[in-house]
Structure 1
């Protein structure tokens, strides 16, 4: 029902300091005791708006309008200074809902400001009260504008960072493909030469030309040594990210995306073979990208263990798959098929659970 606490939520709690005014106002005689109930309901409504999951979004409009009604009632009936509470709603508009000026919440917020400002002119002739209400209205609208700009700039930076990460992934894939072609070309040429030398040496031995056969075998031995060196040089150029390194990178990405990541691993990651390291790293990266881009999740769990091979379970509380046809995540399935691995969707939504099974070491 409720999403997990995230580090950016601190800003929502800072504004709660303003609750000291209606609470102390009761003891100072500015507000009746029964208004504590209204203030308590306002606090609950505010926190529910912040923490309710999308599945319970139907309650949001009622909670939203209650916060506005509370501010209007307390400001008009008891103390005009309660108008400062509109900053609670500015925070929600910008950071919780990311609303534009065309949303019903912004229009209702604007209507609240107009009601409060006009009421201050109708209920009192005090110039300072009029100026304060105008100042709060202008300041809250300016706060909405500049915070919205800040949010948009942050989104652009995140989009650019995501684009750069995608480019880096594609570059790495291209480099792997290039190295694969180099290996194919090198080994193809080498095996052709070795085959010819072997056939020639066999024919020479049949004809008892042992010296010539020995010479060909020595050349064959040298070719195998040279090719081994060339293969090692090519393989050394292939830099793959280990599972441990990939998990650290995922923690950073999920942190930027405000998704709480939990990792539970009973594997000795350092002991995994290069094939397993490379495959698991790429699978983790693709699954994480899907969660960040499409799932609208608040939290994600990654579990790694051994069970007749290597088992990876990837769970999130996002929207998941509308239906499971067996064709989902085809790029990951193709990658796993190369190393005798398989993928299974255990739960398609709420939560979404994906299990990947990889034979120990993979296929050489």
Structure 2
């Protein structure tokens, strides 16, 4: 029989408050209130023992599932049937079994369990206490039906809440995975080119030293140190709180780096509205292009323009270098892929110097 294992009345362990519903078992003593003087001491003790036994079975059933739960529910039903010989108050106790059927059983077994309980009630009313059928049957059926439906609804609500929590946790997990992938990609974009250049320069320095060309070896070693410092600076910028600089701030930083290399920079930056992911893509585009200009171009003038139009937000970087052609390496390919993921594109040519443009569509 398929029975839930994750949605019992309590999720981990029983507590005092799990016994709260037993407050309604007070109806068990209603018949006794009207026949107190007519009851013998043996019958009174029997009623008390029946009630205490039922409470114990209820308490054991709270945190049980599977065959253990079925066994306890069967014992509770049997106790109600036998207890009807001592008092008709057991009509209220059948409802607790009905609640467990609606709450703890799965699918069609809920209905099977409830119908089994109804048969037990009918059997009790007709064969155990036929003289009190009217006073026993209707209350037992009405209470059991109401608590069965209540248990079923409670079960569905709890399953819904758990699925919602799982969905939220899955969203957080996927977000964390995406964030790790983004960080890995950012570090690759930041360090991939720099580390490749450092490795190449170090190999050249080693070869020059082996050939006793010490001046060339020293020059290459100095370039290695410069590349390492630049890479360290970029990593520090990225790691500081790992909050991406605003696009205009990033463009000002790159302009400052160009000026430090003796390149005149013209900035035309307009205010734009863009989300963080797209802004990060444009920031890395600007870093890659400006770094390539510093390392590979003989340009002495660069213009940078940031604007927002109906086509989207664009960053244009032009230089007056004498570049014949551009070979798209890992850096530009990475930027192109990043822009494509954000619904953008990369355009460049060398007709009148270097020209690079990144455009990302945004909702106006």
Q: Taking structure 2 as the reference length, what is the TM-score of the superposition?
A: 0.49
Q: Taking structure 1 as the reference length, what is the TM-score of the superposition?
A: 0.49
- Between structure 1 and structure 2, the one with the greater Rg is 2
